[in-house]
A and B are shown apart, each in its own frame.
Chain A
Amino acid sequence: AAGVIQSPRHLIKEKRETATLKCYPIPRHDTVYWYQQGPGQDPQFLISFYEKMQSDKGSIPDRFSAQQFSDYHSELNMSSLELGDSALYFCASSNLGQLNTEAFFGQGTRLTVV
């Protein structure tokens, strides 16, 4: 079965650079979530989209932005990168219109800022 696909899997950037992370949800899933997980930390919710509209926003820095496109894939744009942005970034998708839905996570993008 198709899973959530994230790209790239690994990314190394220098301070003050920008990065774009991509997420392709499971087909027919209408909701995408972005989470950030620092070393030894639990995943922290950043932002979510339902049917291409932003549905909720968590502790996402103003330097970050995200959007969901007409094909339901999503991109997380990160600017003016800081060392503290180094983390695993997970995308998850679900189908909120379906009873008993659950969120499925992608493999993550490991971002290292040097």
Chain B
Amino acid sequence: ELKVEQNPLFLSMQEGKNYTIYCNYSTTSDRLYWYRQDPGKSLESLFVLLSNGAVKQEGRLMASLDTKARLSTLHITAAVHDLSATYFCAVDFGNEKLTFGTGTRLTIIP
């Protein structure tokens, strides 16, 4: 079965702190995507990771991919309130569609 799991599902953190969201997937893939979704809004593409060891950074967010461990991480550095959203990872298992993780609802507390 093709599965994508994220943890934690919910995360409250204070401004200025660092934290990591984890995304595990069930079978081989080297195409993983991170999306951000604000309540009732669309999915905004954050990162596209296409090879083992890929690391991408944008502002306070950094994403990495370890295809051997079937694991991707989204690291948040010195969180600010504007980062409050739900973050999804999604995996392309080679079947020309995206399988989404359960999402991590992130709340940044001032």
Contacts and interface: CB of A to CB of B under 8 A. Distances in A.
**Chain A interface residue number, banded:** 20 to 34
B40 A42 contact: no
B48 A102 contact: yes
**Chain B interface residue number, banded:** 20 to 34
Would you call the interface of chain A mostly helix, strand, loop, or mixed? Answer: strand
B43 A90 contact: yes
A44 B101 CA distance: 10
Contact of B95 (A35, A56, A106): A56
Interface of B: 33, 35, 40-45, 48, 50, 88, 95-103
Closest 8 pairs between A and B when the two form their complex, measured CB to CB:
A105-B43, A42-B100, A107-B42, A102-B48, A105-B42, A43-B100, A42-B103, A45-B97
